[in-house]
Amino acid sequence: MKKTVLITGATSGIGLATARAFHDQGFRLIITGRRAEILDALTEEFTAEDCLAIQMDVRDPEQCRMLPYRLPQEWQDIDVLVNNAGLALGLEPVYEGDPSDWSTMVDTNIKGLLDVTRALVPGMIARGHGHIINIGSVAGDAAYAGGAVYCATKAAVKAITDGLRIDLVDTPLRVTLIKPGLVETPFSTVRFHGDSERAAKVYTGIEALQAEDIADTIVYAAMAPAHVQIAEMLILATRQANGSLIVRH
């Protein structure tokens, strides 16, 4: 029987690449996101037999709580949860930041991840198997200029992931943190509120990672033997040393 993976934020970037990578490995997909039209298109791409699309916003605690109850019986046995939904907004100093941007980042990157985890992990424990893969960031290792709140949310993702691994140590469940560096996706366009010209400059002069590179590492961690728990992976572009040091040519 095919294994099932649930991916949050699956309509673009790393989430979409991850869905395609798992599909290529024979997994069934439960994909979630806010944009119904993209979810519908992906259901056609992956075929209805192998893909269940659920429109939801992880910022809504009630939608997260109800997620298990929206799954048909044949889709409830989730083998892998990829908590991918996340974003950055703005690149101003903290004292000039937009509080609404802060709230969106905290509600998505931290509270959304927590709420989805709370909704789905008890079922994994009851079934005696499961793998939770959280998407963090190199930004969670150290703050950089203009990114204090985003960096703080990704530092929280690391702490939550480590804590969850501790809490589940007496179970067969596995917990993994994936920390991407500079990845060329719509991430920067979102960060700059749709300013694609400014976003393009983020990737100028360096061969950045692509969403497919991160998807490969996620699938690699998920397909490791059951006795192997890949706790954490940091993936950087070759000319990137950390969250702030990048050499461009």
List, by residue number, the catalytic residues: 150
80 in helix, strand or coil?
strand
Neighbours of 231 (CB within 10 A): 12
For residue 56, the one-letter residue type is M
Place of tokens 């706790």: 231
Q: Give percent helix, percent strand, percent coil of the chain, each to the nearest 5.
A: 45, 15, 40
C-alpha pair distances (Å), 6 with each of 51, 80, 199, 229: 10, 6, 29, 19
